[in-house]
Amino acid sequence: MPIDASPDAAPSLPALWRAAVGRVFKLVTKTHGLRQVTYTRVKTVRAPGADGAFDIEVQCVDIISRVIEGKRTHSNISKEGVLRQHTRDGLPPESFGAECPLAEFEKVTEAILAYTNTYLEWVIQDSPEENNEISIPVDVPHLRLNAMEASLVRHSPFLSGAVYFLTPNSIEAAMASIRIEMMRASRNVHLTDAVDPVYVEEKNTAAALLRTRLHKARLEAAAAVRPVAVDAALQIDSLCLALLGRPSSTTLSWINANPSEEGVVACLGINRSPLDFVRWAHVSGRLVPEEQADRLKLRDFFRGWNNSYTGPDKDGFYPLLRPATE
């Protein structure tokens, strides 16, 4: 807000600053190879003294992105201090940038505090007993990542140091995290006029390599670990499907070769082969008690058209057959 030359037309400078208490101002500057964002939060304003000077307590955060010796770096500074102003020639609050939401400022300061605390925990390990690193080999599926690869999945709960644990969910989480990080990196390119091409190439290479390793891990897991139901289904051939009464390329029929020879044959296309009875079975897989097996007759299961097999009976019992040995 500009200050009018007439003292009666606009509030005084101290009044402007008192009205800005609790507000946050954001100033963005950009030069060749440098982008700087400065947040200034007004905490309190002290009353002017006899000489017209007054103090403003502020909290500031500087975030700087720059290119140094061909490499892009980021730095941040969080500090608190006092601004000395004068009622005659001081700066209004708007000179520190445009107002921004308090939530944005709090998010930035919390992120800086969390990173600083984590970093200090890593480096302040003077005593051997404070070193909590465990060197026991990892005996679960995992990937060892380098620093660049780990940065791509740094927010995933499945990452521990340089080890990324592999589960179906963790692979999906890693793929999503890589997409998010690459989109964020693409946006960051616009923060500076000069971009480190080596850094960009290394990040792209790491993302491509990690995607390949995750895809390979997914295929290996799918080949090694299959659901029991799927694995069991793969073991059922066309004869078993036919005996269970399910759609199959094999059909079963009862034939009479002559008055003394009759039995079951399996038909697959134009090929026919005799079958031998093994035992009685149940669709649930449980054993059939002897008293129930004695009441079952093989011929009763072939009452369909042209003596075809009708499938398990109403109680779920059916004959288990196999190709004849002779």
Q: Specify the pLDDT at position 273.
A: 82
What number is the average pLDDT over the span 256-260?
65
Helix (H, G, I), strand (E, B) or coil at 320: strand
What number is the average pLDDT over the span 266-273?
78
Pure H helices in the chain: 13-19, 102-123, 147-152, 168-188, 197-224, 228-235, 238-243, 290-293
DSSP code of residue 205 = H
pLDDT in tens, 140-182: 889 999 888 888 898 888 998 889 999 889 999 999 999 988 8
Q: Specify the pLDDT at position 233.
A: 43
Least confident interval from 127-131, 175-179, 188-192, 256-260: 127-131
DSSP string across 109-164: HHHHHHHHHHHHHHH---SGGG-----PPP-SSEEE--HHHHHHTTT-TTEETTEE
Q: What percent of the chain has pLDDT over 90?
A: 13
Of residues 49 and 212, more confidence is placed in 212
Helix (H) or strand (E) holding 276: strand 271-282
Q: Specify the pLDDT at position 175.
A: 92
pLDDT at 51 over 80: yes
pLDDT at 199 over 80: no
Residue ranges of the domains in the chain? 13-123, 138-224, 235-323
pLDDT at 25 over 90: yes
Angle of helix 197-224 versus helix 168-188 axis, rounded to 10: 170
pLDDT in tens, 87-127: 887 788 888 899 999 999 888 888 777 777 666 665 565 55
Burial of 112 (0-12, 13-18, 19+ CB in 10 A): middle
Q: How would residue 71 be classed by pLDDT, with cut points 50, 70 and 90?
A: low
User: Quick one: tokens of 86?
Assistant: 């004068």
**How far apart (Å, rounded) are the C-alpha atoms in residues 103 and 210?**
34
Task: Name residue, tokens 């290119």.
Answer: 67
pTM recorded for the entire structure: 0.40
Q: Specify the pLDDT at position 127.
A: 58
Q: Specify the pLDDT at position 258.
A: 61
Count of helices and strands (H, E) across the chain: 8, 12
pLDDT at 16 over 80: yes
Q: Specify the pLDDT at position 232.
A: 40
Q: Specify the pLDDT at position 164.
A: 92
pLDDT at 69 over 80: no
pLDDT at 200 over 70: yes
**How far apart (Å, rounded) are the C-alpha atoms in residues 204 and 199?**
9
What number is the average pLDDT over the span 11-38?
87
Q: Specify the pLDDT at position 113.
A: 77
* Cβ atoms within 10 Å of 3's Cβ, excluding its own: 15
Q: How would residue 29 be classed by pLDDT, with cut points 50, 70 and 90?
A: confident
Cβ proximity of 45 and 21 under 8 Å: yes
